[in-house]
A = this chain, B = another copy of it.
Amino acid sequence: MKLATLNDGTRDGKLVVVSKDITRYCAADNIAPTLQAALDDWEHCAPKLEALYRDVEHQAVPCERFHEREAHSPLPRAYQWADGSAYINHVELVRKARDAEVPESFYHDPLMYQGGSDNFLPPRADIPLGNPEWGCDMEGEVACITDDVPMGVSVADAADHIKLLMLVNDVSLRGLIPGELAKGFGFFQAKPSSAFSPVCVTPDELGDAWKDSVIHLPLNVDYNGEPFGRADVGQDATFSLADLVAHAAKTRPLGAGTIIGSGTISNKGEDGGPGKPVSQGGAGYSCIAEIRMIETIANGSPSTPFMSAGDTVAISMNDKDGHSIFGTIEQKVVSV
């Protein structure tokens, strides 16, 4: 099924069930007022939401027109957002650009940071930027939402706790990252509010494209209206979403509504080296930092600037028939 949260002026919005073609919706208030409320009692709510989804598909209930621009992020605020780095190619490029090795442990022990979750951006909201020197970048990713996950869960059991999937723009301030990482406490100011896709879906919506807790479809990232990234989410994934959920739950349980992200989707080139831009027939990049690393490896210095006021990013994913699964994250950077 497909779910969304409409902006009704409240902090947590209104839960609605969306048609498969994401053109219509039916309010789900009578089942749960918000997506968090549904996740808090998922076992009880999910079958009712699924039944409503069938009715929406069969036009057995009155529906209204679904406008992506009226959607919040599925969870407008959440109790947890933790982002992994499953695509080690991204890390390999960062290191290669500065002639450093990737530690062997990175291939079996996921990188993960705790993100801020109190204030997500809606999928069509502007990205507020306080200073162009902060080096604003998008990061195209996928993410899952879990129910309650017990501490110490196995990877196999973690897979069953993945209840919903969505896309993310994990906004990053590259200019602030080196200073923060040098302090040793991880990202904080370098990771302002992220935005999620207008629609989240249960894994069964992906059919064969959901295998072993990995999505096997390309992620479309457009930058200023041009194709920028078409990386296959199913390729070069060192860790599955279930691996990342189990990693997050190693020393503590995870509360219902926890969001776990994949990290920037990143494919190697056909020869195993750095991937080519989309314009040269490659899979391109899901963030600007990556093309800058490739420029640095090739030419000694980067030539593509980070985002500044007026730059736009769009992130979406189509099924095999070319239909949008999650709707489109579409954001413009604005100076504040």
Contact = CB atoms under 8 A, between A and B. Distances in A.
A136 B181 CA distance: 25
Given A118-B254, A119-B255, A130-B152, A187 B186 contact: yes
Interface stretch (A76-84, A292-300, A311-319): A76-84
Nearest to A82: B188
A73 interface: no
B183 A184 contact: no
Nearest to A181: B184
Interface stretch (A109-117, A159-167, A270-278): A109-117
Contacts of A109: 183
Contacts of A130: 151-152, 250-251
Interface string A182-218: 0111111111110000000000000000000000000
A336 interface: yes
Contact of A118 (B106, B115, B183, B257): B257
Nearest to A255: B118
Contacts of A118: 79-80, 254-255, 257-258
Interface string A167-188: 0000001001000010111111
Contacts of A115: 114
A248 B189 CA distance: 7
A186 B189 contact: no
A252 B184 contact: no
A128 interface: yes
Nearest to A121: B252
B114 A128 contact: no
Interface in A78-137: 78-80, 82, 85, 103, 105-106, 109, 111-119, 128, 130, 134
Contacts of A151: 128, 130, 336
A258 B173 CA distance: 22
A193 B252 CA distance: 7
Nearest to A148: B119
Given A116-B252, A119-B255, 5 more contacts: A105-B183, A111-B183, A113-B114, A114-B191, A130-B251
Q: Ordered nearest first, which 3 A-B pairs have the shortest CB separation? A: A186-B186, A118-B255, A79-B118
27 contacts: A11-B40, A11-B255, A77-B79, A78-B79, A79-B79, A79-B117, A79-B119, A80-B117, A80-B118, A85-B185, A109-B183, A111-B183, A111-B184, A113-B185, A113-B186, A113-B188, A118-B254, A118-B258, A119-B255, A128-B252, A130-B251, A186-B186, A189-B247, A190-B251, A192-B251, A193-B252, A193-B253
